[in-house]
Amino acid sequence: MLTGAYAFGPVSGGHFNPAVTLGVATAGRFSWKDVGPFWIVQLLGATFAAFVLLKIAQGNIDFSLANGFAANGYDEHSPAGYTWQSGLLAEIVLTAFFLLVILGTTEGRAPVAFAPIAIGLALTLIHLVDIPITNASVNPARSTSQALFVGGWALEQLWLFWVAPFVGAIIGGLIHRFALADD
């Protein structure tokens, strides 16, 4: 995350996540006309990355897609057996938190050079909290890329990993826009 933000931040704003793109647009800091094209590229990039990881993982004699390939899930597909309701709430809250960190660290009054560090640390914390619950999404492109290769249950449960991050992104974007933004 840190290296990607520094490497691609000047090109794309470091958007690798459709929920981030939605949240930043909701906050009024990204053009709505660019949301769709960004989502397409994010999905293509995530799917290509998942394909590369799959090819690497297949080099391990014990690898099996039946183990989930780190796909996001709930109920029997949650690493620690959490329900879909718990997963939904965790993904909404953690995505909203992520957007608040991103928006707060990238506005005019924040020290610009440190934004990727704060964002990367926030994402690390999110993963530490969320991996046992859902395998940590907060990124619909990441969730989709894994689900496409796993198929079956992962595709059936994918709805949660679009709905929850989008709801969280909208909440984070609205909170920042109307309560925290540097006007």
Average pLDDT value for the chain = 92
12-26 residues labelled b (16+ CB within 10 A) or e (exposed):
ebbbbbbbbbbbbbb
- What CA–CA distance (Å, rounded) separates 165 from 92? 6
Q: Would you say residue 13 lies in a domain?
A: no
- Degrees, nearest 5: CA angle 63-64-65: 130
Tell me what pLDDT residue 15 has: 77
Ramachandran area for residue 28 (φ above 0: left; ψ -120 to 50: alpha; else beta): left
Where in the sequence is the domain holding 75, given as residue range(s)?
2-7+21-56+68-180
In a domain, 62, yes or no: no
Tens-digit pLDDT profile for residues 144-165: 999 999 999 999 999 999 999 9
CA distances in angstroms from 181 to 24, 27, 100, 175, listed in the order given: 12, 8, 10, 9
Please tell me which residue, 75 or 67, carries the higher pLDDT value: 75
What per-residue confidence (pLDDT) applies to 130? 98
Q: What's the whole-number mean pLDDT along residues 118-122? A: 95
Interhelix angle 18-26/140-150, rounded to 10 degrees, is: 150
Please state which of the ranges 21-35, 57-71, 120-134, 158-172 shows the lowest mean pLDDT: 57-71
| 115 located within any domain | yes
Cα–Cα distance list, 110 to 2, 123, 126 (Å): 17, 18, 22
Per-residue burial over 101-120, b = 16 or more CB atoms within 10 Å of its CB, e = otherwise: bbbbbbbeeeeeeebbebbb
The number of distinct structural domains making up the chain is 1
Residue 103 clears pLDDT 80, i.e. is over it: yes
Q: Which pTM was predicted?
A: 0.92
DSSP 34-53: GHHHHHHHHHHHHHHHHHHH
Query: What confidence tens digit (pLDDT) does each residue in 42-67 have?
Result: 999 999 999 999 999 999 999 999 88
pLDDT in tens, 9-29: 555 566 799 999 999 999 999
**122: domain CATH number?**
1.20.1080.10
